[in-house]
Amino acid sequence: MGPSAWAICSVLGGLLLQGGHPSPGPSPSPSVPRLRLSYRDLLSANRSAIFLGPRGSLDLRAMYLDEYRDRLFLGGRDSLYSLRLDQAWPDPREVLWPPQPGQREECVRKGRDPLVSAVRREWAPTVANDQALTPRTECANFVRVLQPHNRTHLLACGTGAFQPTCALITVGHRGEHVLHLEPSSVESGRGRCPHEPNRPFASTFVGGELYTGLTADFLGREAMIFRSGGPRPALRSDSDQNLLHDPQFVLAARIPDNPDQDDDKVYFFFSETVPSPDGGPGHVTVSRVGRVCMNDVGGQRVLVNKWSTFLKARLVCSVPGPGGAETHFDQLEDVFLLWPKAGKSLEVYALFSTVSAVFQGFAVCVYHMEDIWEVFKGPFAHQDGPQHQWGPYGGKVPFPRPGVCPSKMTAQPGRPFGNTKDYPDEVLQFVRAHPLMFRPVQPRGGRPVLVKTHLSQQLRQIVVDRVEAEDGTYDVIFLGTDSGSVLKVIALQAEGSAEPEEVVLEELQVFKGPTPITEMEISVKRQMLYVGSRLGVARLQLHQCETYGSACAECCLARDPYCAWDGSSCTRYRPGTSKRRLRRQDIRHGNPALQCLAQSQEGLVATSKVYGTEHNSTFLECLPKSPQAAVRWFLQRPGKVGPDQVKTDERVLQTEQGLLFRRLSLLDGGTYICTTLEHGFSQTVVRLALEVIAAAQLRSLFPRQPRPEETPAQGGLSSSPPKAWYKDILQLTGFANLPRVDEYCERVWCSSRSRGKQAKGKSWAGLELGKKVKSRVQVERNRTPREVEAT
């Protein structure tokens, strides 16, 4: 480990210590999700629905959420789909779009096939690893562009087996559900779609033109920002200047700077691998925001048909360490634009990862668009001096200021500068030589809103919803992981603390297997998240408040801004409704003691009777809903005043699932109370009255009888009480064998229910003996089957 690696580790060590609560006892870290829902939980609760296409996998590469038409468009391998959002899911329309005749064969011949690996090695040094693993499948048409062309058509572009192709897709007017490809519109997609299915790529369709950030050649080396498709000549980056260093594009979007439409720009978010900035050896990864004017038409003599307004700046997302050293998160993973209500400035939520080989960390930083504008108004970066260090450009900056759009602002008497072709050569030369701003863009608050450093999975996608709750406005962050799950998180800014408190509300396993999430779109109107992976797409409800439980305290402890206690259940919180005063919600502190005074927790939990036998093991189950809660057991002995906390030792163990007695003693009898402590709020989960049956008493009850195998199967059992097998049952009731015990008892005893006693429970009830020997307790509680499965 080099010295820099040590620095990073110690910084993060400090960070974790600051962030974590050094609380004693078994209280897990707050970044443990409060609720984990499995793939099947989500489906069975109708929280999610999945579309994997007719072949079981779409090989999805593009997704476009069209809220105007209420449609979701999907681009896969050799196919396109349309799903309706407002009706039964999925009801798809499909268009097959394979490569043009001969293209697949040519692709294979050109070396995108493992058999021609010699050629391939020579050709593909820059091809990313994941592509190299699946070369044969690259020779297909992966749809990577899906953009609204006009009211009736979409523009779609695909890799076309390494010959990018575009076409118009008829999607019909609003309310219609049609999808077909216009054969006459098929044309080359060079510059509009990358050749490769997996290389990072961004596009946006604005003002009748498509803006793309991509590598536009077969070898994947010529990185550029490209504009095409309108009546104007296509415009591209100046490749001589090396303006982009191996960029990985994440997002492209039109963002108006001010009400003057002439000043509108398209912004690109990406990371680059640049030569070490301090003149040292090697390369470093940095994240960027870049922009071009929409009314850029290139220069007259310089930069002909090239961008004349392109500028870029660094996006910084770092955590200060104890010694002043910063830990940087430099690899941009995803960007989400949080469009404001009128009068406020746009906020840019960006998800970053570290590029360090030593540890894997992720951070979310938020940038105000105003801060980005300020940086573009600031000094240009200039490389000078003996070591070619970077510094602010100190000389005279020509007019119009390089990088500004031709508009009223640039007009001067006699020199209107109506378009970039009018700009003096001097201005174009300057922008060509100084595309980088000197100052980096700092995040809001100077630090990330979220840092995750010890995750078992990686974070890939981010979507944010601004939610109004009773005690304020919260940004709910949805993070898509590489294991097919979505984390729902809020970051609370505690008063008087620089560090935000992170609350992971839910972890939702959207896809069955561990497939990386590659797309995520939110529909605030529908309160839905559309989550895409290579396999397909899932529709996921943003919230399902009843899942948190049926008690006020559970609803309150969930701290979900979408949910509140309405007096009888945990439901969606809607600000400004007439029932407002009845609503109980406390996101900031999650303190049910204040919010749920009327609710008596003790009263809600009934005492269940449990039997155990002397000298034998027994298990008292207690599964709290939240893994964040600390579990404590108390014992109320008959005749004693108050309950005492259960003392654990070698004989009595506290496990994650409950209390295990290795060998029961007659003195263990009494009422056991399992409580959870969370945010200072104590809650009773289970009350169990344990009665210990003396060994001698049991022996006298059941003399030795034949084993179950020796008795006739089915029907023969009902005539005599099944006393015979109690010893087998007792042997089996070690808690590792539980499923088998249930199975066994089902088989052996349930057939004897016909004796007339109406059985209540699944396997034991209705049989006196069963009740007595049962050592694992099926406690009647508010847990539904899916919660059991989720734990």
Residues that bind ligand NAG (CB under 6 A): 46, 149-153, 168, 613, 615-616, 695, 698, 730
Count the neighbouring beta carbons within 10 Å of the beta carbon of residue 734: 16
What's the one-letter identity of residue 81?
Answer: Y
State which residue, 86 or 495, has the beta carbon closest to ligand NAG: 86
Helix or strand or coil: residue 262? helix
Residue 569 Cβ vs ligand NAG, minimum distance, rounded to whole Å:
17
Residue number with CB closer to ligand NAG (594 or 666): 666
Nearer to ligand NAG, 155 or 224 (CB): 155
Nearer to ligand NAG, 46 or 129 (CB): 46
Nearer to ligand NAG, 401 or 572 (CB): 572
Please state the closest distance from residue 703 (CB atom) to ligand NAG, in A: 12
Pick between residue 627 and residue 721 the one whose CB is nearest to ligand NAG: 721
Give 509 or 613: the residue with its C-beta nearer to ligand NAG: 613
Q: Which is nearer to ligand NAG, 154 or 244 (CB)?
A: 154
Q: How far apart, in Å, are the Cα atoms of 294 and each of 158, 205, 206?
A: 25, 11, 9
Beta-bridged to residue 213, according to DSSP, are 202, 225
User: Which 8-state DSSP code applies to residue 422?
Assistant: G
With CA atoms as reference, report the closest residue to 535 among 61, 133, 52, 38: 52
Q: How far is the CB of 527 from ligand NAG (least distance, A)?
A: 8
Identity of the residue, 296 or 506, whose beta carbon is nearer to ligand NAG in the bound complex: 506
Shortest distance, position 788 Cβ to ligand NAG, whole Å: 22
Least distance to ligand NAG from the beta carbon of 57, Å? 24
Rounded to a whole number of angstroms, the minimum distance from the CB of residue 53 to ligand NAG is 20
Question: Are 304 and 233 contacting, i.e. CB atoms less than 8 angstroms apart?
Answer: no
Nearer to ligand NAG, 510 or 779 (CB): 510
What share of residues in the chain are helix, strand, coil (percent, to 5)?
A: 20, 35, 45
* Residue 144 near residue 75 (C-beta atoms within 8 A): yes
DSSP result, 559-573: --TTEEE-SSSEEE-
Residue 725 CB, nearest distance to ligand NAG (Å)?
Answer: 12
| Distance from C-alpha of 336 to C-alpha of 345, rounded to nearest angstrom | 14
CA 640 to chain centre: 51
Contact, 243 vs 309, CB < 8 A?
Answer: no
Closer to ligand NAG by CB, 46 or 568: give it.
46
Contact between 47 and 539 under an 8 Å Cβ cutoff? The reply is no
- Bridge partners, residue 487, by sequence: 479, 507
| The token pair that represents 702 in the structure block | 């059941």
Report the alpha-carbon angle 487-488-494, nearest 5: 120
Structure tokens that stand for 373 in this block = 């504008």
Q: In the numeric block, which tokens belong to residue 717?
A: 């059992």
Helix intervals (H) in 403-497: 425-433
- From first CA to last CA, the distance across the chain in angstroms is 38
**Min dist. Cβ of residue 734 to ligand NAG (A):** 9
Q: Which of 83, 99, 97 is nearest to 171 (CA)?
A: 83
Nearer to ligand NAG, 351 or 698 (CB): 698
Cβ neighbours, 10 Å, residue 12:
21
Q: How far is CA 542 from CA 161, 176, 375, 479, in A?
A: 37, 27, 35, 12
Closer of 367 and 725 to ligand NAG (Cβ): 725
Cα–Cα distance for residue pair 109/98, rounded to 1 Å: 17
Dist CA 729 CA 708 (whole Å): 11
557, 681 contact by CB (below 8 A):
yes
Of residues 615 and 755, the one with the C-beta less far from ligand NAG: 615
Q: Which is nearer to ligand NAG, 332 or 732 (CB)?
A: 732
From the CB of 717, what's the least distance to ligand NAG, in Å? 21
Q: Please answer whether residues 268 and 252 qualify as being in contact, where contact means their C-beta atoms are separated by less than 8 angstroms.
A: yes
- The distance of closest approach from Cβ of residue 2 to ligand NAG in the complex, given in angstroms and rounded to an integer, is 53
Q: Say how many C-beta atoms besides its own lie within 10 A of residue 180's C-beta.
A: 12
State the nearest-atom distance from the C-beta of 67 to ligand NAG, in Å. Answer: 16
Beta strands in 239-387 (DSSP E): 248-255, 265-275, 283-293, 311-315, 318-320, 326-328, 331-338, 347-353, 362-368, 381-384
For ligand NAG, the closer CB: 617 or 657:
617
Rounded to a whole number of angstroms, the minimum distance from the CB of residue 151 to ligand NAG is: 4
Q: Residue count of the chain, please give it.
A: 791
Least separation in angstroms between residue 772's CB and ligand NAG is 11
On whether the CB atoms of residues 714 and 748 are closer than 8 A, the answer is no
CB of 662 to ligand NAG, least distance (A): 10
- We find the least distance from the C-beta atom of residue 37 to ligand NAG, in angstroms, to be 15
Q: Output the smallest distance, CB 434 to ligand NAG, in A.
A: 40
CA dist 743 to 710, 750, 763, 791, Å? 19, 10, 8, 21
